[in-house]
Chain A
Amino acid sequence: MKTPLLILALAAATLSTAAAQTQTAPTPAPAAPAGYQEMLGATIQEVMSTGDAAVLKELAGKLERAATVAPQDWLPRYYQSYALLIATFQGKEDGDVKDRQLDQAEAALQQARRLRGDESELLVLQAYIYQARLGVAPVTRSMQYAGKVNEALADARKLNPANPRIYLVQGNNLYFTPKMFGGGAEVARPVYEEAKARFAAFRPATPNAPGWGERQLLGRLAAYQQPAGPPQAASK
């Protein structure tokens, strides 16, 4: 269980893209100092383009600083949480250290919630944090956290079924469940396909709003076309 989760995180961290965020969607920024949006955007780009735990923790610090520049903006807290989460997946620390880091990620997420951020996105991130909690002690936690992941994703879907990241995280869950027991690549595929369709229709509300995951998804879907991919995929 642990290894697939790590691979998943690695993929998410290294393949995530901020490409979607650069698309122009000129929305008026909240009252923040000039240059804030650009600085935040550049920091988000950095988060999305690294898989180094130490760099991610540095960037989480920078995002915390950004939160003091615009105390009413939920996005720096959201990305702070995201950076800490990916840093946890990437880190080699023991379980207690990881749990503490996830506590910090969750604290940042709570702050983003209090600022009334996009609840559907926040729930997806919460589900992702639960997956990380599960990965810390899979044997004792799988029962408790597997349910929590599904619940958070279901709530996210209720709020905004158009959020493509719901299907990405759900697809990953299925992808790493063994094939003979109801999971596997082929079962995950329609969920990934749905994610693809949702990504195609998705436009972030603002340039810096959450938009990660598409490149990871395309990487996953590309694997189905390769001859070394799952046998069912190869035969078709």
Chain B
Amino acid sequence: MKLPLLLLLLLTALRLAAQPTTLSGTVRDAAGQPLPGANVFLKTTFDGATADSLGRFRFTTRQTGALPLLVTLMGYQPQEQPVVLDGQPHRFTLTLKEVRNQLGDVTITAGAFEASDEKRSTVLTARDIVTTAGALADVNGALNTLPGTSRVGEEGKLFVRGGAAGETRQYLDGLPLQSPYSASVAGVPARGRFSPNLFRGTVFSTGGYSAEYGQALSAVVGLNSYDLAPETQTGISLLSVGLSLSHQQRLARSSVAVTGDYTNLQPYYGVVPQRFGWTTAPQAAGGSVALRRQVGRAGLVKVYGAATRAALTLRQPDPGFDGGRPVALRNGNQYLNATFRSPLRRGWSLQTGLAGTGDEQHIRPDVQRVHELEQSLAGRAVLTNDSAGAYWNLKLGAEGLRQRYRQQYQAEAAAPVLRSGFDETRVAAFAESEVAFSNELVARAGGRAEYSRVLGRWNAAPRLALAYQLGEGTQLSGAWGYFYQTPANDLLRFGQYNRALRFERAAHYLVTYQRIQQDRTLRLEAYYKDYAQLTRYAAPALTGDVPLPPDPASYQSTGRGHARGVDVFWRDKQTVKNLDYWVSYGLVDTRRQQRQDPVPAVPTFASRHNLAVVGKYWVSRLHTLVGGTFSYGSPRRYHDPNQAGYNQGRTPGFQDLSLNLSYLTSIRRNLTIVHVSCSNVLGRDNVFGYRYAPAPDATGHYPGVALTPSAPRMLFVGLLISINKKRPADTETAPE
């Protein structure tokens, strides 16, 4: 009796063991949300299942005994628990913990627009700069379609949030650019010195930027050049205004790129009538060499050198001269930039560089002669440790600048030479850390200290930024900081003799909301900028028409001002296939008392409302990219001496509609782009301001003339050929 019973029991047990076990349940995150895609399985077996859209799973196994049940999902910590497989169904409620953010998952977006090809979610890509209508392939022209900027057509430079052009500092591979714009005179818009094709990415920060950047009250443009040239290629550009040749050669661990270009607007001005009397149409010749070399396992040395010569002579509209006042300009510019970067030990990496600039200008307004010479050498070393701590990094840096500025002035050829100038030595150090407090909250805290020898002073600038991720692609961020800048060269010339002169200062406060979903971006930013210690001086006295040298004692750091407003940016690449458009709107309310301003006033370069609508449409059947940009700037102020008050005049609003077209084809199998662009298609008469005579006429009236562009429209035609033996031309994708 006993034996059969035992046998029966044994058999039952065996059968139980042989029976499959069913495992089921749900996988959720800490907040109780289902986690579809989680892989739930018995370790060391094929048995398992993937959680469905509700986080549910179910599978059966013929395994027996105890095995670990493993749950894995990318971005979550894997979880393991033992389970006894006894033929009975088991249910599980599994909760996965998120992997805590490595730094870099949440990027602080307050204030910054990044243009790069590396990340898909960036607001602007490098090719946008070349394909934006009206930008004329100028980096600054393209950045001028972003919110926060005001179009100042007679200058062509960047004016950000009620700040003057000099308040925006440009950096090339981390080194400050001393002369970022081509030489120009009033009324002739300047361009950026560097071709956009040099850069793989651009960061445009309109406030609250990192402690890495100094000497900028309003904005920073960070230009990052390409590393090794990817392939050997030759480029030929035939333009309606000149010719440009380039060649890059890729070697195993290095690359060399050379360019040469020549522009002359004379033929164009011969065909298209101009308002200004051009004696010598703008012409320039330049060349550059870029060397890249890999050093060691991951080090890279980059050297870039460029030189340009430019000249122009024209008659500027002026009430005191019949047919305009003659002005001649000659400029020579040399630039050399050498950088080295390499990883070191224990997570540290080094970035270092040296940049030298020489810029010489001869300007002849009427019979006066001005000669300016600026030479500078800037150096920088930055140590970064991205694995300083699990959830924080560290960046330490030092910068130095030697600057020599000389000016010679003669009221006429026979007049005595008046010499002025200064020698500056500036050193700076900064430290900054990014800390991830949680998966959602990241902070960046840092500080920067600077010493200026010409001022005999130092400053300390704290910076802080916070970013909170509200959800997938949605972020709320804020930034605060102090920003210092030494007064501009022309102010230091005389101001240096007043020991009371200080750094100019701005404090930024900003809040940003950004949402990037699929291919749509929305950004809203509100800001307040508080200016202090701006340089003021008394208007120089006149002897006849010639101003006397200013009195250094009148230079004081007592100017104040503010700028506040809202920037809105909307970009949509998704709604209409092949259409990409963005809308920028900036509202700026600003007043300041600076330089000769007798009272706080709206500066002449600021317009209250600024709008840019940019559209690009790729017609794949025609291999053509068409683009249009509409810009509007509300009336700007100017000072009218015939009326009471200061900066009380208002120009008409600025309007411009620019169109462009790029047609992709091939010549002997080499990719060829035919590019046509035209600014101000509608022929709007834009007026940038008025120039008045320094003294009233017999009736007591100050005569004045309107400042306008040289011609209502600018038409540009170019044929760009790239010769690349390895890669056949691809005309199916929109141009780079």
Whether A43 pairs with B48 at a CB distance below 8 angstroms is no
Q: Which of A87-143 contact B (CB under 8 A)?
A: 94-96, 99-100, 103-104, 107, 136-143
Nearest A residue (CB) for B669: A182
B509 at interface, CB cutoff 8 A: no
Whether A99 pairs with B120 at a CB distance below 8 angstroms is yes
A155 at interface, CB cutoff 8 A: no
Q: Which of B30-56 contact A (CB under 8 A)?
A: 37, 39, 41, 43-50
A66 at interface, CB cutoff 8 A: yes
Whether B728 pairs with A43 at a CB distance below 8 angstroms is no
Whether B231 pairs with A61 at a CB distance below 8 angstroms is no
B261 at interface, CB cutoff 8 A: no
The CB with the most chain B CB atoms within 10 A, among A1, A68, A141, is that of A68
B693 at interface, CB cutoff 8 A: no
Tell me, in angstroms, the Cα distance from A142 to B736 when the chains sit together.
9
Q: Which residues of A contact B490 (CB under 8 A)?
A: none
We find that the number of chain B residues with CB closer than 8 angstroms to chain A is 39
Contact among B50, B121, B671, B727 for A146, CB-based, below 8 A = B727
Q: Which residues of A contact B50 (CB under 8 A)?
A: 57-58, 61
A69 at interface, CB cutoff 8 A: yes
B72 at interface, CB cutoff 8 A: yes
Interface pick from A11-19, A173-181, A222-230: A173-181
**Known: A61-B39, A103-B74. Contact between A178 and B125, CB under 8 A?**
no
Whether A64 pairs with B39 at a CB distance below 8 angstroms is yes
Q: Kindly provide the distance from the CB of B226 to the nearest chain A CB, expressed in whole angstroms.
A: 11
Q: Which residues of B contact A136 (CB under 8 A)?
A: 120
Q: Kindly provide the distance from the CB of A38 to the nearest chain B CB, expressed in whole angstroms.
A: 10
Whether A68 pairs with B519 at a CB distance below 8 angstroms is no
**Known: A57-B50, A137-B120. Contact between A182 and B734, CB under 8 A?**
no
The CB with the most chain B CB atoms within 10 A, among A107, A137, A140, A150, is that of A140
Q: Which residues of B contact A68 (CB under 8 A)?
A: 41, 43-45, 70
Q: Which residues of B contact A138 (CB under 8 A)?
A: 733
Whether A141 pairs with B117 at a CB distance below 8 angstroms is yes
Whether B729 pairs with A181 at a CB distance below 8 angstroms is yes
B294 at interface, CB cutoff 8 A: no
Q: Which of B517-539 contact A (CB under 8 A)?
A: 518-519
Whether B45 pairs with A178 at a CB distance below 8 angstroms is no
Q: Kindly provide the distance from the CB of B721 to the nearest chain A CB, expressed in whole angstroms.
A: 13
**Known: A58-B50, A65-B45, A69-B46. Contact between A182 and B39, CB under 8 A?**
no
Q: Which residues of B contact A141 (CB under 8 A)?
A: 117, 120
Whether A69 pairs with B732 at a CB distance below 8 angstroms is no
Tell me, in angstroms, the Cα distance from A181 to B732 when the chains sit together.
10
Q: Kindly provide the distance from the CB of B515 to the nearest chain A CB, expressed in whole angstroms.
A: 13
Nearest B residue (CB) for A144: B117
**Known: A143-B736, A181-B669. Contact between A62 and B120, CB under 8 A?**
no
Whether A69 pairs with B45 at a CB distance below 8 angstroms is yes
Whether B47 pairs with A65 at a CB distance below 8 angstroms is yes
Whether A62 pairs with B48 at a CB distance below 8 angstroms is yes
Tell me, in angstroms, the Cα distance from A185 to B370 when the chains sit together.
66
Question: DSSP majority for the B interface?
Answer: loop
Q: Which residues of B contact A33 (CB under 8 A)?
A: 44
- Contact digits for A129-167, partner B, Cβ 8 Å, 1 yes 0 no: 000000011111111101100100000000000000000
Inter-chain contact count A-B, CB under 8 Å? Answer: 93
Q: Kindly provide the distance from the CB of B472 to the nearest chain A CB, expressed in whole angstroms.
A: 8
Whether B41 pairs with A1 at a CB distance below 8 angstroms is no
Contact among B37, B74, B118, B730 for A142, CB-based, below 8 A = B730
Tell me, in angstroms, the Cα distance from A96 to B518 when the chains sit together.
7
Q: Which residues of A contact B47 (CB under 8 A)?
A: 65
Nearest B residue (CB) for A35: B46
B731 at interface, CB cutoff 8 A: yes
Q: Which residues of B contact A143 (CB under 8 A)?
A: 117, 230, 736
Q: Which residues of B contact A139 (CB under 8 A)?
A: 127, 618, 733-734
Whether B729 pairs with A107 at a CB distance below 8 angstroms is no
Whether B730 pairs with A140 at a CB distance below 8 angstroms is no
Whether A95 pairs with B666 at a CB distance below 8 angstroms is no
Q: Which residues of B contact A140 (CB under 8 A)?
A: 117, 120, 125, 127
Tell me, in angstroms, the Cα distance from A139 to B573 when the chains sit together.
11
Tell me, in angstroms, the Cα distance from A62 to B230 when the chains sit together.
39
A39 at interface, CB cutoff 8 A: yes
**Known: A57-B50, A143-B117, A182-B669. Contact between A177 and B44, CB under 8 A?**
no
Q: Which of B549-597 contact A (CB under 8 A)?
A: none
Tell me, in angstroms, the Cα distance from A62 to B72 when the chains sit together.
12
Tell me, in angstroms, the Cα distance from A142 to B117 when the chains sit together.
10
Whether B666 pairs with A180 at a CB distance below 8 angstroms is yes
**Known: A68-B44, A69-B45. Contact between A142 and B39, CB under 8 A?**
no
A183 at interface, CB cutoff 8 A: yes
Q: Which residues of A contact B125 (CB under 8 A)?
A: 140
- Contact digits for B711-736, partner A, Cβ 8 Å, 1 yes 0 no: 00000000000000011111111101
Nearest A residue (CB) for B39: A61
The CB with the most chain A CB atoms within 10 A, among B44, B230, B729, B732, is that of B732
Whether B117 pairs with A182 at a CB distance below 8 angstroms is no
Nearest A residue (CB) for B732: A1
Q: Which residues of B contact A64 (CB under 8 A)?
A: 39, 72
Whether A65 pairs with B46 at a CB distance below 8 angstroms is yes
Whether B46 pairs with A147 at a CB distance below 8 angstroms is no
Q: Which residues of A contact B74 (CB under 8 A)?
A: 100, 103-104, 107
Q: Which residues of B contact A65 (CB under 8 A)?
A: 39, 41, 45-48
**Known: A96-B120, A142-B733, A144-B117. Contact between A177 and B46, CB under 8 A?**
no
List 12 A-B residue pairs with CB atoms under 8 Å apart, sorted by A's residue number: A33-B44, A65-B45, A68-B70, A69-B45, A95-B120, A96-B518, A103-B74, A138-B733, A142-B733, A144-B117, A177-B732, A183-B728
- Besides A64-B39, A107-B74, 5 more A-B contacts (Cβ < 8 Å) are A68-B41, A68-B43, A95-B518, A95-B519, A181-B666
Leading 10 A-B pairs by shortest Cβ distance? A182-B728, A61-B50, A181-B729, A61-B39, A65-B41, A94-B518, A147-B230, A142-B733, A140-B125, A139-B734
